[in-house]
Amino acid sequence: MTLSIRKVAVLGAGTMGHGIAQVCAQAGYEVALRDVAEGALAKGIAAVQKSLDRLVEKGKLDAAERARVLAAITPTTQLADAVRDADVVIEAIPERMEWKLETFREIDASAPPHALLGTNTSSLSVTEIAGAVRDPSRVVGLHFFNPVPVMELVEIVRGIRTSEAALDDARALVTKLGKKPIVVRDFPGFATSRLGVAIGAEAIRMLEQGVASAEDIDTAMKLGYRHPMGPLELTDLVGLDVRLAILEHLHREVGEQFRPPALLRQMVRAGKLGRKSGEGFYVYAKS
Ligand code: CAA
């Protein structure tokens, strides 16, 4: 039987988490948005407001619907409160395995047994994460893309112990969110991160080698390949720290072709993380 969904708990109010909370609320679900810090929650809610304002300005959403969507999202710092009566839990915390395992142990202690448990990890093992809960058959990867309200794909990752029923529930959820699902096996980097970081890392190496300027490398892929953004602009959007973490993981798990470029490490050490820090391969005006 397909899961009946009333409430979704989203854990982590960062770039991905607040976007996921928004699309779930827009699809008509009640949403609990949890982060460890009040400040992060306030930032996440402000970002949802800004994104909804854009939709209202474009005439894609009316003011009453904007108010309904915002009212459907309840921010909280308490994980147990967020997941207690949730039908779906989506974890979107930073990409550190030990944090994910701890979070899934906490989810397991408070979420109802029927709940579908999703992780938005972009490269870590869904099978390993699922090992933190008593029933790993209910755990799937639900990999969203940034900016979540705009991007049409969700990559569903099937862990070794993910059940057919959980996969069906995940497909139904993704479709209800207005997005297109693809299903991939639990292999490091899945389909999207593996291809995405390969192009991004090569672009950074080309910049290091002086092949062309950042602008020209980006223009090459925008005009020559019709990518909506160049690989360096996209790295700024995703976050240099996020891409470095994915590359380090794929380097360990898949092989030499994913060795992170030295320039990327240096920029992360210097705090140049992309749009969120105000500077990456480009400089951004403070918003
Ligand atoms: N909320 C709501 N709407 C938004 C939005 C947001 N946060 N951001 C953009 N939009 C809307 C705009 O309002 C606009 O709507 P209309 O078409 O109705 O006018 C539309 O999206 C396009 O935006 P813009 O006109 O401002 O700018 P653009 O045409 O340059 O598009 C972009 C911006 C959507 C980001 C586009 O450049 C793009 O698709 N870039 C590639 C993004 C990408 O590859 N993301 C994946 C990153 S990898 C990842 O996320 C996974 C991972 O694991 C790290």
Ligand 1 mean position, distance from CA 63 (Å): 22
pLDDT digits (tens, 9 = 90+) for 203-252: 999 999 999 999 999 999 999 999 999 999 999 999 999 999 999 999 99
pLDDT digits (tens, 9 = 90+) for 174-217: 999 999 999 999 999 999 999 999 999 999 999 999 999 999 99
DSSP string, 210-263: TSS-HHHHHHHHHHHH--SS-HHHHHHHH-HHHHHHHHHHHHHHT-GGGPPPHH
Atom of ligand 1 nearest to the CA of 145: 50
Three-state DSSP state, 280: coil
Domains along the chain with CATH numbers: 7-185 (3.40.50.720), 193-269 (1.10.1040.50)
Place of tokens 């989810």: 107
Over residues 75-100, mean pLDDT:
97
pLDDT at 1: 61
Ligand 1 mean position, distance from CA 150 (Å): 5
Ligand 1 mean position, distance from CA 231 (Å): 14
